[in-house]
Structure 1
Amino acid sequence: MIVRQKPNAIKIFFTMRGSVLPKIYRQILFITLLSMITTIIQHWIPNSFPYYSTAPFTLIGIALSLFLGFRNNASYQRWWEARGLWGQLVFETRSLTRQLLSFIDGDDEIGRQTQQSMIHLAIAFTHALRHRLRGSSPWEDVERFVEPQYHASMREARNLPEYLMRLLGKKLGDSRRQRLLSEHMVQNIDERLTSMTIVLAACERIHNTPLPFAYMLLVHRTTYLYCFLLPFALVASLGWATPLICAMIAYTFFGLDVLSEELEDPFGLAANQLPLSAMSRTIEINLLEALGEADIPEDIRATNGYLP
């Protein structure tokens, strides 16, 4: 995710990090080249492209803008919902840790081991969820927080975060049977686990349910056809200004199209997607610090304005 402050009036034209320009420059160059060719032909062979009313293109452009705006709103809503879910996960893991440290006797060896085991599993769940959403290998981040006797069964699990949540539930049940927690506190802590499970399910829903393909296809086709036909309609009236105007329109429409695709799946590593690595590290630091452990990693900081 881009975390830099707003660039000034000069830098805003040259900022590439976070811009969609690297993804659409080929389309813009093609439209600009096509516009230049039509302009040159019109200049050397007058009336090659007769004057057309721009009213149809105006109406199509308005309709296309509405379609692109609707799609961008839908993509941003998915992005914002995902950010809210990870904010909820931060809250739930901190609340779970506070309850475990407050209501399980840490002076007792069994109690201390139970606290550490469950809090470590909450950290492992956070890393496992991030890796599941990004399709990356979780074992380096997860195994160090899970007791070795569970490693074999953990690697066989099809849904690693859900497996870790079941393991947390089992630990909570063991705490109840050992009378480390009262019935009331068991219920409260189970509510935290349920909320974390809801976060998992909601993130999977966003990740596994893209916007309808037919709608995306309609917007793609309309955008390309509109930008390809635009130079032929404008060259008779705009002359040598046609390439510049067409390039600006192509940048706007293609840019909105690509930006909505990037925001549609908020869990990736693109510049405008969520910084899941940084949020996972924040949860890990907070929970290890609450446990009083000495080996606490550093915060993940932004590099060149980008936070992974």
Structure 2
Amino acid sequence: MPFSLIGITLAIFLGFRNSTAYARYWEARTLWGMVLTHTRTLTRQALSLTSDSAQARPLVYRLCVFVHALKHQLRATDARGDVAMFLSPGECERVTQARFPASVALLLADEWLGQRLRQGQIAPVIVPALQRPLEQLSNALGGGERIASTPIPFTYSVIIHRSIYLYCFWLPFGLVDSIGFMTPVIVCFIAYTFFALEALGAELEDPFGMEANDLALEGMSYMIESTLLEMLDEPPRTAQPQVRNFVLH
């Protein structure tokens, strides 16, 4: 009876942790879906609503920079290689030297809108329509930063990890009288289930990492870049990433 009660309690705690980890993973994926949708929307509006569609090209490049800068910012990696493909040296330094490069890239896109408005290439009445996708991109950026900077409390994970070890260590003593020689088989199966669930939660709680089960940010950023440049009749500039296989470590 004590082992049954403890096992049910551990299962509940593991289920809660895995649900929390998956919620973070799915929210991160939803935010990147927002980035795709609103960059497409802004590109389409810029190409169709400006008096000179050729002037929309710098905006599309800056949106590509925002996507790659967001990827690198969430992973704390260097964005210079990707950013330099789309911006002038001065603008590239401005983005890559910033503490939050994705915010600066979004500011460059907003500056483009202000310049077109002052030059009379965009009617003031349609400015709110162009601002809404920028606001949504800012919301996606803030949501990604919140997930990346707020991990699941370490003490919570440690308590579950140690409790599982102790439970699996003492479990054979509670089962041997009732199931006899089948005790090692049943214990191994139960231990594997608990440790697999714990590993699953650990894999999913940081969706922006570079492990096999994390979000494929390289593939998503490449896809967004490709669809934006396709509207300009241009090929993608970054290399297509390889498809990753998902594994449970």
User: Residue in 1 aligned with 2:125?
Assistant: 184
Larger radius of gyration: 1
Residues 142 and 151 of structure 1, relative CA distance in 2, 3 Å threshold? closer
Where does residue 129 of structure 1 map in the other structure?
A: 70
Q: Equivalents in 2 of 1:282, 1:127: separation in Å?
A: 11
Query: Are 1:103 and 2:24 matched, yes or no?
Result: no
Cα distance in structure 1, aligned partners of 2:192 and 2:142: 37
Matching residue within 11, 19, 28 for 1:82: 28
CA distance in 1, matches of 2:92, 2:212: 34
Shift >6 Å, 4+ stretches: none
1:204 pairs with 2:150: no
Provide closer, same or farther for how the CA distance between residues 165 and 179 of structure 1 changes in structure 2, counting only shifts above 3 A: same
RMSD, aligned α-carbons: 1.8
- Looking at structure 1, the residues matched to 148 and 50 of structure 2 have their Cα atoms a distance apart, in angstroms, of 36
SS in 2 for 1:158: coil
Over residues 92-147 of structure 1, what are the superposed CA-to-partner deviations in whole Å (9 max), with x where a residue is unaligned?
A: 000010001001233xxxx52x3111100101110111111122221111111112
State the 1:176 CA deviation.
Answer: 0.6
Matches within 5 A, 1:239-258: 239-258=180-199
CA distance in 2 between partners of 1:145 and 1:295 (Å): 11
Match for residue 98 of structure 2?
157
Distance 2:233 2:117 in 1: 24
Distance 2:181 2:235 in 1: 68
Give 2:140's aligned amino acid. V
Deviation at 1:305, TM superposition (A): 6.7
Q: Following the alignment from structure 1 to structure 2, what is the Cα–Cα distance between the partners of residues 133 and 148? A: 23
Matches within 5 A, 1:157-306: 157-294=98-235, 300=241, 302=243
CA-CA distance at 1:303 after TM superposition: 5.2
Alignment of 1:22-37 (within 5 A): none
- C-alpha contact 1:97 1:287 (8 A) present in aligned 2: yes
Instruction: Say whether the 8 Å CA contact 1:127–1:280 is kept in structure 2.
Output: yes
Residues 289, 296 of structure 1: 8 Å contact kept: no
User: Once the two structures are aligned, what percentage of the paired residues are identical?
Assistant: 43
Instruction: Say whether the 8 Å CA contact 1:223–1:253 is kept in structure 2.
Output: yes
Q: Deviations over 1:6-51 (max 9, x none)?
A: xxxxxxxxxxxxxxxxxxxxxxxxxxxxxxxxxxxxxxxxxxxxxx
The match for 1:7 is none
TM-score scaled by structure 2?
A: 0.92
Partner of 1:146: 87
> Taking CA–CA contacts closer than 8 Å with sequence separation of 6 or more, which of the two structures ends up with the larger relative contact order?
1
Rounded Cα–Cα distance in structure 1 between residues aligned with 2:204 and 2:235: 38
1:184 CA drift (Å): 2.2
Q: Which runs of 5 or more structure 2 residues have no equivalent in the other structure?
A: none
How big is each residue's C-alpha offset from its partner over 1:163-182, in whole Å with a ceiling of 9 and x where there is no partner?
Answer: 11111111111111011111
- 1:215 partner SS: helix
Residues 215, 279 of structure 1: CA spacing in aligned structure 2 closer, same or farther, 3 A cutoff?
Answer: same
> Which one is further off, 237-246 or 193-202?
237-246
Deviations 1:246-282 (A, max 9, x none): 1111111011111111111111122222111111111
Aligned equivalents of 2:246, 2:147: Cα separation in 1: 26
State the alpha-carbon separation in 2 of the partners of residues 283 and 296 from structure 1.
Answer: 12
